[in-house]
Structure formats: C-alpha cells, structure tokens
Amino acid sequence: MKYILGGLMSGTAEHLNNYQQRIVRDKAICGGDPVFKGTRVTLRTVLASLAGGDSIEEILADFPSLVAEDVQAAIAFAAASAEEDLPLPATPTFDENQAR
C-alpha cells in the first residue's frame, strides 16, 4: 500500500502541498519509512542531518538524488508534525484579587 503523507498545517497551502507531493510511504521501500519520492532517502535521515547542523548544501552533496525542495519539504513536514503533536503551554490564569 502506497500513500502520500499529509495532515493539517496552518502554513500556506504551497508548503502543505510541497511535503505531501515529495514525501511518500511504501511498505516495499525502506520498510515503509517515509522517503522522498523516487529515492530511498528517508525523511528521518534528512531530519537527523538538519538536527546535527548540516546545511541544505551539505545534505544535497551527501544525497545527490535530492533537491533543495526535498529538504524544505522535510522541514515543512516536521513543522506540521510538531504543530499537531506538541501540547500548548499552560496559560497562566488571571486573578483580579492578586493583581491588586
């Protein structure tokens, strides 16, 4: 079964479509881990490279089958995932009696 990863994101539709069109899952490729369409480069690998401080240029040099838009799609995917998964910080309540 093959499907394109997606979800809701409050950014622009262009960024949403960007990662949905570039990041795919297929059980026959890399055990179903998300990869960049037409490659065997996993999303996890690119995100780990970014987290490790690699620049987009370094990632593209390491993975010549990728283009800059693929790395941008990885960032958009991570942002959308964080937006959906991270709890919002608690908002302090306001007490009029304490404000006086």
Q: Is the pTM of this model over 0.75?
A: no
Are the CB atoms for 73 and 19 separated by under 8 Å? Answer: yes
SS3 72: helix
- Are the C-beta atoms of 31 and 42 separated by less than 8 Å? no
Cα–Cα dist 56/60, whole Å: 6
Between 89 and 75, where is the model more confident? 75
Number of C-alpha atoms within 13 angstroms, CB side, residue 18? Answer: 21
| Confidence at 16, pLDDT banded by 50, 70, 90 | low
Say if residue 89's pLDDT is above 90.
no
Q: How far from the centroid of its chain's Cα atoms is residue 52's Cα? A: 15
Question: What is the distance between the alpha carbons of residues 17 and 13, in angstroms, rounded to a whole number?
Answer: 6
Highest CATH level, class, for 2-85: mainly alpha
Q: What is the pLDDT of residues 19-70, one digit of tens each?
A: 888 999 999 999 999 999 999 999 999 999 999 999 999 999 999 999 999 9
